[in-house]
Structure 1
């Protein structure tokens, strides 16, 4: 069961983006999951009254949420999404690449690399980063859509520390780790060139940037973590929130700068209660009884 959901901040074009991804990505569908209420909005949200709030995107059975909001944030490559293709799916890989390159920019051109016979990294027209990778190994469905955290800027060389921390708080288990072995422009010899870990049943990748970056994690891409009950919300929130001024509506920023949404497992049910949206706007940490 998927417990970790990548959330992408869309600047008022969430429904349009969902339709684009449904056309562009393999085995993808989309639907409007929720809408802004017509009343009880904050002043800056009022232009969005009645419009989509969250748009669900399903890629190979993995859910990604598009948050339809304002111009406050936008995605950057600090968190990207890896799509893994088997060698027999090259036609699908190439078609996905072509679609994402429509108005996008190649960060690493589609080509053969020492680590993959066909690989490319693209920033699409909405600013979302995708890594497309071919492998000769069997691909499990749960490992075919993988969020990838790149530690650069203020978070440079902290990937291993983060994985250990997420292990303590969220039960993350390290599957593989490949240090650089020798220093690069920005990474130490011990820094991680690539690592993969699991959070429950969800696969996550992490790496330290090998070159200096002028960006780092922002709410433009956040990670949503589902908790069973208030006690678990309290525990995770207290352990992870490191920037008090960033706390709002279940959002927090951890000590590495990564934005998380710590939500109850029955969030959809809670949001159906009368006045739920307005009540949520008053909260920092989500309190189930206050919905």
Structure 2
């Protein structure tokens, strides 16, 4: 019998809001600046509303100041689920989550990082250590669309919700992209790219890559454009390379030489 996975989401800001809407109101994306309300084709064939145990929106992290003396004063009562996704939360909240989740029988914690200021490398390591102590799986993709895992829980969770690095199934007719099906995505951008690229005639790799990237930017991508020391580049730029590489691979077009060396370890 298939396991029915459940998810809880803690977030602040527009990225978290988009993630929630993408899972629960898949036809809402035109209102986020994508295809346009009058052009929506209802391309998303899912609705995970019944799989969401709880959603809680926090104030922006900076509104709480540098330190939160008692995290419990701003935490909601937690509803048990399999996985918690924590998006753009105060560091003092993040470090407390592993213990709290373990007490409520959670299996994993995912902390996406669209901006390096959301979760520093040191903080990420601290959270990972705390998760290891209490037996909870942990992932912190930067940006969210680099999410991939070989771990038992997170990999199965991502497969169930079709979350992770963009993944496509593409039917070609010669050099024409005839049909595109999205197999994995985190924010809805892959669906927008898929729709815009159907019917595309591939005449040169360089133009093909440029057009994929333009559609990815136009969704729009909300990853930070600031250079990140860990990535040696901006999360926004890595997200673009992820999309181009994934789409090209599905179309049978090698894009490995398109990806800068310093980004390859996050994509391959």
* Greater helix fraction, Structure 1 or Structure 2: 2
* Greater strand fraction, Structure 1 or Structure 2: 1
Report the TM-score when normalising by structure 1.
0.27
Report the TM-score when normalising by structure 2.
0.29
